[in-house]
C-alpha cells in the first residue's frame, strides 16, 4: 500500500465521534441546535471521505491501496493502529459517510424526547462503521466491529417502541455469538502465523505471506478458520438461514437507525467475506463456494417471497434487503472478478436504494401514523411528487437499466454464470429473485398509489423531505448512467484477490470497463 503522510483517514474516522462528544456538551432542551451540530459533523465527515476518495482516484494509491503509517497499539502482541483503504473499502467508506447525514436528517421527523442521546449514538455508530471498513489490523478491525454493535443495540432497544427491547436482545445474541467465533478465528490465524514467521495482526502482512508461501495453513485447519470468520459475516449480512434477527430489528428501528442498519451495517458481512474469507482462505473459499451459493439462492427466493406477503412497508423493505444481500453474497462466491466487482457495486446501490425506501416509508408514517400500505390508496393523485420519487426508487430496486442497481445485478449474474465453481443453476436462482423483486415492489405501488384517493388531505413533500430524496434520486441516476466510475477503482484490488484464489478463477474475464 502507498503510505500517505496526511492523516485524512483518521480525520474521516474520528469526526463523527468528536461530534458525539460535542453533543453531550449542549443543553438537553436545545433539540434544533443538537440536530444542526450532528448534521454538521456528519457532513464534515462526508467531505473528508470525498477528499479521501479524490486522493485515491487521482493516483495517490498503489494497486493495493493507500494507508496511514502504522502506530504501535499493543506492541507486545504485534497489534497497531493502522488505517488504510483499497478499491473495495473506499466505496464503502464513502457510502457510510454519504448516508449518515440522511440518517441524521431523518431525526427531524422523530420525537424530541431524548434526542441528544439518539444523535450522539448515531454519530458514534458512524465512527465505528468507518473504522471497520478502514482497519488494517485484525484486532483493530474486531474492536471497531464490536463497538459498532453497542450503539446499534441501544438505539433499537430505547427508541424501537414496544418491540425494541426484544429485537435489540435478539440482534445482540445473534451477532455477538458470531463475533466470538470470529475472534477465535483471528487468534487462530495470529498464532499459526507466529509459529511460522512474525507476530502481527496486520492483514496486509499476513496476506502477503500467504501469497508468497512464507505462511502456509493446513487444508483442514483452513476450513475451520474459514468457518469461524464465515459465521460472523453470514449473520451480519443476513445470509439464509442466519437472517432471522433482521426483520425484527429493521422493523422495530426508527427510520434513522434503520438507515444505518440496513443500508450500511449489513455491508459488514459482505465486506468481511471479501477482506478475510477470500483473502486469507482461498482454497477453503473454493471448497465452500457451492454450499454458500445454495444458501444464498434460497435466501434470495425465500426473502423475496416473504416480502410479497408483507403489508407493513418497513417490514417489506427488511425482507427486500435480506434478498438483495443474499444476491451480493452469491456474486462474491462466484470467485471471479466479474462477480466480486458486481457484488461491490451492488452493495452501493443497495445502500442508496434502501435508505431512499426507508425515507419514503417515514413520510407516510409521519402523516398517518401507520406503515400499512393497505391504509393508503391513490397516492399518485394526492402526492404526485412523492409518487414520482417513489416510482423511481422502486424501478431502481427492480434493476431497471439506466438506474444504479441494474449493472450490479447484471454483473453478479454474469459472474455467477461464468463461474468455474457455480454456473447456470445458481444464475437462474438470481434471475428468479429479480422477477420476484418486481412482483412485490409493483404490488406495493399498485395498492398504495393507484386507484381512487381515500384521503385528499395528505400533503405532498415539504422542502425538508424533498431535498434528501432528490439528492438520493440524483445518486441513483448518476450511478446508473456512469457505472464505469464505480468499477474502475476496483480493478487492482479485485484482480489481486482473484489471482490469489487460483488459476481457474484468475483466467476469467476482468472487471467490465
User: What is the SS3 assignment for 425-442?
Assistant: HHHHHHHHHHHHHHHHHH
pLDDT of residue 65: 76
Q: Can you read off the three cell numbers belonging to residue 127?
A: 465512527
Judging by DSSP bridges, how do beta strands 66-67 and 84-85 pair with one another? antiparallel
As to burial, measured by CB atoms within 10 angstroms (0-12 exposed, 13-18 middle, 19+ buried), residue 173 is exposed
pTM value is: 0.89
pLDDT of residue 124: 94
CA distance 506 to 492: 13
DSSP 389-427: HHHHHHHHHTT-TTSHHHHHHHHHHHHHHT-SSS-HHHH
pLDDT of residue 511: 45
Instruction: Tell me the percentage of the chain whose pLDDT exceeds 90.
Output: 41
Q: Could you read off the pLDDT of 420-467 as tens digits, one per residue?
A: 778 788 888 888 988 999 999 999 888 888 877 766 677 888 888 899
Evaluate whether 66 touches 85 at the Cβ level (below 8 Å): yes
Evaluate whether 400 touches 479 at the Cβ level (below 8 Å): no
Q: Could you read off the pLDDT of 229-246 as tens digits, one per residue?
A: 999 999 998 898 888 888
Q: What are the residue boundaries of the structural domains of the chain, listed by start?
A: 136-506
DSSP H helices, 197-281, are 203-212, 219-237, 245-252, 255-258, 267-272, 279-280
Evaluate whether 418 touches 336 at the Cβ level (below 8 Å): yes
Please enumerate in sequence order all residues whose Cβ is within 8 A of that of 49, keeping only pairs 6 or more positions apart, or say none: 12, 93, 94, 96, 97, 98, 130
403-406-411 Cα angle (round to 5) = 145
Measure Cα distances from 290 to 319, 417, 419 in Å: 23, 13, 11
Q: Which runs of E-coded beta strand occur in 372-470?
A: none
Please enumerate in sequence order all residues whose Cβ is within 8 A of that of 486, keeping only pairs 6 or more positions apart, or say none: 91, 345, 348, 479
Evaluate whether 475 touches 101 at the Cβ level (below 8 Å): no
CA distance 92 to 113: 32
For residue 168, pLDDT beyond 70:
yes
Q: How many of the other CB atoms lie within 10 Å of CB of 237?
A: 29
For residue 513, pLDDT beyond 50:
no
**Is the backbone of residue 402 left (phi > 0), alpha (psi -120 to 50) or beta?**
left
Q: Could you read off the pLDDT of 96-105 as tens digits, one per residue?
A: 999 999 999 8
- The answer to whether the peptide bond before residue 241 is cis (omega within 30 degrees of 0) is yes
Measure Cα distances from 19 to 34, 128, 141 in Å: 10, 13, 22
| Residue 203 exposure: Cα atoms within 13 Å on the Cβ side | 31
For residue 352, pLDDT beyond 90:
yes
Q: How many of the other CB atoms lie within 10 Å of CB of 497?
A: 24
Q: Which runs of E-coded beta strand occur in 61-104?
A: 66-67, 71-74, 79-81, 84-85
Overall average pLDDT of the 34-53 stretch? 92
Q: Could you read off the pLDDT of 256-294 as tens digits, one per residue?
A: 999 998 889 989 999 999 999 998 999 999 899 899 999
Amino acid at each position: 500500500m502507498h503510505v500517505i503522510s496526511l492523516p485524512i483517514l483518521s480525520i474521516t474516522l474520528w469526526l463523527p465521534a468528536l461530534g458525539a462528544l460535542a453533543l453531550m456538551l449542549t443543553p438537553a432542551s436545545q433539540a434544533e441546535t443538537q440536530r444542526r451540530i450532528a448534521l454538521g459533523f456528519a457532513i464534515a465527515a462526508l467531505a473528508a471521505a470525498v477528499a479521501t476518495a479524490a486522493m485515491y482516484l487521482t493516483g495517490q494509491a498503489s494497486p493495493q491501496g493507500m494507508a496511514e503509517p502504522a502506530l504501535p497499539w499493543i506492541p507486545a502482541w504485534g497489534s497497531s493502529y493502522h488505517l488504510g483503504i483499497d478499491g473495495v473499502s473506499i466505496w464503502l467508506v464513502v457510502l457510510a459517510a454519504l448516508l449518515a447525514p440522511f440518517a441524521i436528517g431523518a431525526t427531524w421527523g422523530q420525537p424530541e424526547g431524548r434526542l441528544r442521546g439518539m444523535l450522539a449514538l448515531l454519530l458514534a455508530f458512524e465512527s465505528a462503521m468507518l473504522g471497520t471498513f478502514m482497519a488494517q489490523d485484525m484486532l483493530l478491525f474486531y474492536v471497531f466491529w464490536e463497538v459498532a454493535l453497542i450503539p446499534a443495540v441501544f438505539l433499537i432497544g430505547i427508541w424501537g417502541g414496544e418491540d425494541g427491547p426484544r429485537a435489540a436482545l435478539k440482534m445482540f445474541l445473534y451477532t455477538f455469538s458470531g463475533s466470538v467465533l470470529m475472534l477465535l478465528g483471528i487468534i487462530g490465524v495470529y498464532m499459526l502465523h507466529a509459529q511460522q514467521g512474525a507476530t502481527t495482526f496486520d492483514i496486509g502482512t499476513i496476506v502477503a505471506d500467504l501469497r508468497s508461501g512464507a505462511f502456509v495453513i493446513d487444508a483442514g485447519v483452513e476450513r475451520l478458520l474459514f468457518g469461524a470468520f464465515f459465521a460472523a459475516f453470514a449473520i451480519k449480512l443476513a445470509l439464509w438461514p442466519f437472517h432471522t434477527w433482521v426483520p425484527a430489528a429493521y422493523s422495530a428501528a426508527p427510520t434513522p437507525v434503520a438507515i444505518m442498519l440496513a443500508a450500511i451495517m449489513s455491508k459488514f458481512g459482505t465486506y468481511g467475506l471479501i477482506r478475510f474469507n477470500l483473502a486469507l482462505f482461498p482454497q477453503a473459499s473454493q471448497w465452500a463456494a457451492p454450499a454458500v451459493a445454495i444458501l444464498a439462492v434460497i435466501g434470495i427466493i425465500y426473502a423475496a417471497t416473504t416480502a410479497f406477503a408483507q403489508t407493513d412497508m418497513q417490514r417489506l423493505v427488511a425482507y427486500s434487503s435480506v434478498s438483495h444481500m443474499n444476491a451480493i453474497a452469491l456474486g462474491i462466491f462466484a470467485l471471479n472478478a466479474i462477480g466480486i466487482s458486481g457484488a461491490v457495486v451492488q452493495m452501493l446501490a443497495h445502500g442508496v436504494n434502501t435508505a431512499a425506501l426507508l425515507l419514503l416509508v417515514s413520510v407516510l408514517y409521519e402523516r398517518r401514523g401507520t406503515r400499512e400500505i393497505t391504509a393508503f390508496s391513490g397516492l399518485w393523485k394526492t402526492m404526485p411528487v412523492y409518487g414520482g420519487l417513489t416510482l423511481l426508487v422502486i424501478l431502481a430496486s427492480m434493476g431497471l437499466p439506466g438506474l444504479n442497481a441494474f449493472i450490479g445485478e447484471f454483473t453478479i449474474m454474469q459472474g455467477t454464470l461464468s463461474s468455474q465453481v457455480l454456473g447456470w443453476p445458481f444464475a437462474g436462482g438470481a434471475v428468479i429473485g429479480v422477477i420476484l423483486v418486481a412482483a412485490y415492489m409493483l404490488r406495493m405501488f399498485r395498492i398504495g398509489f393507484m386507484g381512487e384517493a381515500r384521503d385528499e388531505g395528505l400533503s405532498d413533500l415539504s422542502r425538508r423531505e424533498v431535498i434528501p430524496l432528490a439528492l438520493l434520486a440524483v445518486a441513483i441516476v448518476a450511478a446508473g448512467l456512469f457505472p464505469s466510475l464505480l468499477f474502475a477503482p476496483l480493478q487492482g484490488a479485485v484482480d489481486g484477490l482473484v489471482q490469489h484464489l487460483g488459476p481457474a478463477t484468475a483466467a476469467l474475464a476482468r472487471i467490465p470497463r
